[in-house]
Amino acid sequence: MNKFHSYRSLTIVQPWRRHQLFAVAFKSREDHRKQIELEEARKAGLAPAELDEDGKEINPHIPQYMSSAPWYLNSEKPSLKHQRNWKSDPNYTKSWYDRGAKIFQAEKYRKGACQNCGAMTHTAKACMDRPRKIGAKYTNKNIAPDEKIESFELDYDGKRDRWNGYDPSTYHRVVDLYEAKEDARKKYLKEQQIKKLEEKNNNQEGDDAATSDGDEEDDDELRVDEAKVDESRQMDFAKVEKRVRTTGGGSTGTVRNLRIREDTAKYLLNLVINSAHYDPKTRSMREDPLPDADPNDKFYLGDNQYRNSGQALEFKQMNIHSWEAFDKGQDMHMQAAPSQAELLYKNFKVAKDKLKTQTKDTIMEKYGNASTEDEIPMELLLGQSERQVEYDVAGRIIKGQEVILPKSKYEEDVLANNHTSVWGSWWKDHQWGYRCCQQTIRNSYCTGSAGIEAAEASLDLMKANIARKEACEESPKKVEEKRMAAWGSDVPEDLELNEEALANALKKEDERKREEKDERKRKYNVKYTNDVTPEEMEAYRMKRVHHEDPMKDFL
């Protein structure tokens, strides 16, 4: 009965699944062969790909166990929806920070706000505004609005998306900039051509031979200009047509590779792990990858080499000048008005040179010019010094160039309280101090060389006192211990104590100490007597705690 019941339970088929089982089970051999041929044709690209419920093509190379949906989904058509993530977390978002959004504008300073600008959303240390001479905490003016603080929970792709938060509408500025440059270049070339044609027409009345030679030269120059105009169109030397049309989508495009294939990539010049750092995102390597190699054999010296050569140094100086001028109250900005900044920088250099010349002339008029009177020694003429700088054949510095340390935004070399050196320039006995006066107390007044001499004299006096004390302790005098009587006087030699009374006095002293430790054992009726016997005094002296005794904790 059990076997028959189990057999029936295995052969029972649910009614709504019967048409699927029959369709699979009763497929003929011919239908099966046609199905296999169709799959092979789809894989070879001879037959169109199968479409899903949404009308999208299904890759024929996907295995059947991945493309076939489970039976409980009741899918009538082939689909890949069962392979997608159904249970997406609703907390994940693809939104980004609202840049520059403000939430509240206060009219007066609030407690706990930024001391520099007055906003509540950050502190003075993290403030991105210009440091004010007097902060908003004290002026109570120009309170900055509070920023909008947001926090997002990004998914796996959102955390690794480098373009998250990018506004594509801002790219039109780049396009407009390049178009303006191209229009300006074409306009300039056209003006040059017109100018040369006018000169050609003005010179037609001259000699015919000379005119014919000039015509040939002008025609050559015009051809060169036309070649410059069409230079961008002739740069398709590495143009490659590539078809990227696939079943998953895509389009036909043109791939251009403008990099010379013989050039070695920056990150392959030195394969040592601790060599110059290469940033793959910006494709920059600031330091020299091969600092020990011969400069004549190197074609790449690092990005810092380009920044410290040519017109880059002049551009840096111009930037620094604009920053300093803006800090001093002059209305100029390098990015907003570059032409104005360049003109002001040129005027500044002219005024600076003029001031140097005027100062030099004033000094020479007052003190005279020794170079015109006596001959200058050869050491000064040759400019010899202790500094050694090595150059190569091309005149580039190989060794000896000093590395310029960038200054931080914090104040440096601030001398206070008449000090001639900064705090931390002196180190002695694990303490920092000032080198000018060798004091280890910060913000103290400088005492100069007199303070150093006084400190040395006090140190010598202290060492002498220590040596004198050690010499006295080497031969200590023996002090005889005096036995004191009951009331503090010396114990007479003929004093005799009763041993039985001494034993009773010791017991009473033990009981008194126990009562002091535990108040529950203290009696209500306290008997007090002013008569102290020599035995009781001896017992007290024997039982008292000697604080100078090193073994008192073991009693």
Query: Quick check: pTM over 0.85?
Result: no
Q: Which of 120, 176, 162 is nearest to 144 (CA)?
A: 120
Token output for 425:
């320039």
pLDDT in tens, 256-306: 555 566 778 888 888 888 888 998 888 889 899 998 888 888 888 888 888
Whether the per-residue pLDDT at 490 is higher than 60: the answer is: no
Q: How confident is the model at residue 469 (pLDDT cuts 50, 70, 90)?
A: confident
Letter string b/e over residues 442-473, b meaning 16 or more CB atoms within 10 A of that residue's CB:
eebebbeeebeeeeeeeeeeeeeeeeeeeeee
More confident residue, 529 or 518: 518
Cβ pair 423, 437 in contact under 8 A: no
Cα–Cα distance for residue pair 505/542, rounded to 1 Å: 11
Q: How confident is the model at residue 1 (pLDDT cuts 50, 70, 90)?
A: very low
All structural domains of the chain with their residue ranges: 29-83, 96-194, 311-363, 416-471
Token output for 446:
């400088």
Q: What is the mean pLDDT of residues 93-102?
A: 80
Q: Provide φ and ψ at 279, rounded to 5°.
A: -95, 110
Q: What pLDDT sits at residue 2?
A: 42
More confident residue, 107 or 93: 107
The angle subtended at Cα 487 by Cα 485 and Cα 490, nearest 5°, is 35
Cα–Cα distance for residue pair 315/345, rounded to 1 Å: 10
Q: What pLDDT sits at residue 345?
A: 92
pLDDT in tens, 208-256: 545 555 555 555 554 544 444 444 444 444 444 444 444 444 444 454 5
Return contacts of 454-460, CB within 8 angstroms, 24+ apart. none
Q: What is the mean pLDDT of residues 351-363?
A: 93
Q: How confident is the model at residue 528 (pLDDT cuts 50, 70, 90)?
A: low
